[in-house]
Amino acid sequence: MLGRILSSAQAGLLLVIICLGALLTLFAGSHADRVSGEMVNNFLNSYTLIQTLTDASFFAIMAVGATIVIISGGIDLSVGSIYALAGVTTAMVLRTQGLDGSSGAVTGLVISVGVGLLCGVVNGLMVVGLGVHPFIITLGTMWVLRGIAFVSSNAESIGLPHALTAIAKAPLGLAESLYPVPTLVMIAVTVAGSIYLQRTVMGRHVFAIGGNPEASRFSGLRLGRIQVGVFVISGLTAGIAAFMGASFYGSASCVDATGYELYVIASAVVGGASLSGARAAPSTRCSGRC
């Protein structure tokens, strides 16, 4: 078991990350902490590490949905545009209605997630209904959705109510300028995605259609419904990421998450998903129980 883990691609990547972290720690230098006065490393400290996790959390959340799409044999290039459209729509509605406080936060979450779900449904229905490869469909919706965000916002950055920023930047008892909420949301979404793939029948169906769609069809699986479902999940994670990102930075614009598609897909592949479908990291791989 240990030999199998050490020989995996993930072990090699982890070794690269550890070596890179060691080099950065060694050559980063140090500075005096403004609170305690103690010397701390410029890289290996809580502020840098949490900020790094925060910056990565927004596209890592979307990578969970992208992983499920890729395992099913598809791909979603529109996640960055869904992120932008969900964030812009949320900001515009909250500004128009003048919502703030807890009602504004709940409404913002519902709108952002709702836009993400709607975009996922559109992607899934077009893939299934038109019979065109997901690469082509989502490449088109990537531009269309970002264009809608551009036109509807007049290419302006729209501020969000303070209540949303207060939630995203809640210190949760940590020191000043440490904001763990995006990282905690990323972990929660990752755990939920892992449970979905490992412990649910629907997750096993995703592996099945990614491995052999024809055999899955003859087995009685409804391929269309499953394909739509994986794009809905991808849209859902993009909506969650958009809510957290816009809330954290306090504004939303049509250029948000530009280029995130590559980060998201790369994150999914580095995490073990195969672009040929039906394969994931050892912890989520289908083991004969599909």
The answer to whether 66 and 134 have CB atoms below 8 angstroms apart is no
- pTM comes to 0.88
Q: In which domain, by residue range, is 221 found?
A: 59-270
Look at residue 31 and tell me if it is in a domain: no
Is residue 51, in this structure, part of any structural domain at all?
no
DSSP code for 224: H
Instruction: Please indicate, yes or no, if residue 1 is contained in any of the structural domains.
Output: no
Q: Is the pLDDT of residue 96 over 70?
A: yes
Q: Categorize the per-residue pLDDT at 281 as very low, low, confident or very high, splitting at 50, 70 and 90.
A: low
The percentage of residues in the chain with a pLDDT greater than 90, rounded to a whole number, is 55
Q: Is residue 29 part of a domain?
A: no
Closest among 190, 191, 202 to 290, alpha carbons compared: 202
* Residue 37 placed within a domain: no
- Average confidence (pLDDT) over 156-177: 86
Task: Look at residue 127 and tell me if it is in a domain.
Answer: yes
Lowest-confidence segment of 152-161, 167-176, 254-263 by average pLDDT:
167-176
Q: State the Rg of the chain over Cα.
A: 20
Per the structure, the count of domains in the chain is 1
When pLDDT is averaged across residues 59-87 and rounded to a whole number, the result is: 94
Residue 76 CA to residue 80 CA, distance in Å, equals 10
User: Residue 25 domain-assigned?
Assistant: no
Within a domain: residue 223? yes
**Mean pLDDT (the chain, rounded):** 88
Distance, CA of 156 to CA of 38 (rounded, Å) = 43
What's the CA gap between 209 and 212, in Å, rounded? Answer: 5
Backbone angles phi, psi at 31, to 5 degrees: -150, 165
Q: Compute the distance between CA of residue 86 and CA of residue 169 in angstroms, rounded to an integer.
A: 20
Terminal Cα distance for the chain, rounded: 22
pLDDT tens, position by position, 215-267: 888 888 889 999 999 999 999 999 999 999 999 999 999 999 998 899 999 88
